[in-house]
């Protein structure tokens, strides 16, 4: 079927090329008036979730996927909804799977906005995701990431004409995380502070701060629709489940350390405790043991997290 479509596409007019493009590797979900989530399945080439907000005079995009190809697909999906200019991109944090397509929207004229720590980390900290010896093309890819044009410290409000978009710094996942809310639609883009029934990447995490952040999100937005960084669109109850996972992880690791266990023995004991409840969550095979060892390091005061660059 795909071959037949490709053949058909090769002979139809160029003006139909958008119709012929491969189906994007994510699903657009309308979650409020003019508010859309772009949800990627696990293993998707898009790499993470994103979304966009349509105001009266332009569009704000939240996160840009892992690479330019899915970001171009996102731009094409936005163009199916509106021809208003893409005025802003908000990067929820520096990780490559949320910033890899910045260039597409920068070229389209968008101003890229992020927490100030992101600017110093984007082209340095992202190298670690390619291991100790990144290949030249991997280095080049990280060094070519488009950095934010505008940074903020605690809060910034963006007006898309009459529509308010609130961007707030909240710690936990990386130390440079932004939460983006659209009050008139009761939608909150949590970035990777919110994982919907998926185990998180804790490589840069400060879990006690993260739990406080999630408690504040639930207090401030008790009935919001949350766009997660990974997994599906989330309810407040899903956010609570995720908060409880982080708390259970810290509790189980702390208790096992207090019993004198460390290393693989600790990992095995905590895995046995958490697996019955969380083994069915997405990414549990990839992340459960790592979550345990990273939290053990954090509780022992041995975990390294990115430090804000000097200005
Ligand atoms: Zn992340």
pLDDT digits over 154-209, tens only?
A: 999 999 999 999 999 999 999 999 999 999 999 999 999 999 999 999 999 999 99
Q: Are 111 and 165 in contact (CB under 8 A)?
A: no
Gap from CA of 299 to ligand 1 centroid (Å): 21
CA 280 to chain centre: 21
- Edge-first strand order for the sheet with 111-115 is 27-32, 35-39, 50-54, 59-62, 86-90, 111-115, 150-152
Q: For 4-51, how does the pLDDT look when each residue is reduced to its tens digit (9 = 90+)?
A: 433 333 334 333 444 445 689 999 999 999 999 999 999 999 999 999
User: Model pTM?
Assistant: 0.92
Gap from CA of 97 to ligand 1 centroid (Å): 7
**Per-residue confidence (pLDDT) for residue 15, from 0 to 100:** 39
Q: How far, in Å, CA of 160 to CA of 146, rounded? A: 22
Domains and CATH numbers, the chain: 24-237 (3.60.15.10)
Q: For 72-88, how does the pLDDT look when each residue is reduced to its tens digit (9 = 90+)?
A: 999 999 999 999 999 99
Gap from CA of 173 to ligand 1 centroid (Å): 7
Gap from CA of 230 to ligand 1 centroid (Å): 9
Gap from CA of 95 to ligand 1 centroid (Å): 5
Gap from CA of 121 to ligand 1 centroid (Å): 13
Q: Are 29 and 36 in contact (CB under 8 A)?
A: yes
More confident: 19 or 311: 311
Gap from CA of 270 to ligand 1 centroid (Å): 24
Gap from CA of 6 to ligand 1 centroid (Å): 35
**Per-residue confidence (pLDDT) for residue 23, from 0 to 100:** 83
């Amino acid at each position: 079927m795909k071959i037949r479509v490709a053949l058909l596409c090769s002979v139809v007019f160029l003006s139909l090329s958008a119709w012929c493009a491969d189906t994007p590797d994510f699903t657009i979900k309308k979650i409020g008036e003019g508010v859309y989530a772009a949800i990627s399945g696990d293993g998707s080439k898009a790499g993470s979730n994103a979304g966009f907000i349509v105001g009266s005079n332009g569009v704000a995009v939240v996160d840009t996927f892992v690479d330019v190809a899915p970001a171009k697909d996102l731009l094409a999906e936005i163009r199916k909804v509106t021809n208003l200019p893409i005025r802003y991109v908000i990067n929820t944090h520096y990780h490559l799977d949320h910033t890899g397509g910045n260039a597409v929207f920068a070229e389209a004229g968008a101003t890229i906005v992020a927490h100030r720590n992101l600017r110093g980390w984007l082209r340095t900290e992202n190298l670690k995701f390619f291991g100790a010896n990144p290949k030249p093309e991997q280095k080049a890819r990280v060094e070519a990431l488009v950095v934010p044009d505008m940074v903020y410290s605690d809060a910034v409000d963006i007006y898309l004409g009459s529509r308010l978009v609130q961007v707030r710094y909240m710690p936990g996942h990386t130390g440079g995380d932004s939460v983006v809310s659209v009050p008139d639609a009761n939608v909150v883009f949590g970035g990777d502070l919110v994982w919907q029934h998926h185990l998180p990447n804790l490589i840069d995490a400060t879990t006690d701060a993260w739990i406080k952040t999630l408690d504040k999100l639930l207090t401030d937005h008790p009935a919001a629709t949350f766009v997660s960084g990974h997994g599906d669109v989330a309810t407040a109850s899903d956010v609570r489940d995720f908060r409880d996972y982080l708390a259970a992880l810290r509790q189980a690791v702390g208790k096992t350390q207090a019993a004198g266990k460390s290393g693989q023995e600790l990992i095995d004991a905590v895995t046995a405790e958490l697996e019955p409840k969380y083994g069915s969550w997405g990414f549990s095979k990839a992340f459960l043991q790592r979550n345990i060892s990273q939290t053990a390091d954090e509780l022992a005061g041995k975990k390294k997290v990115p430090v804000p660059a000097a200005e």
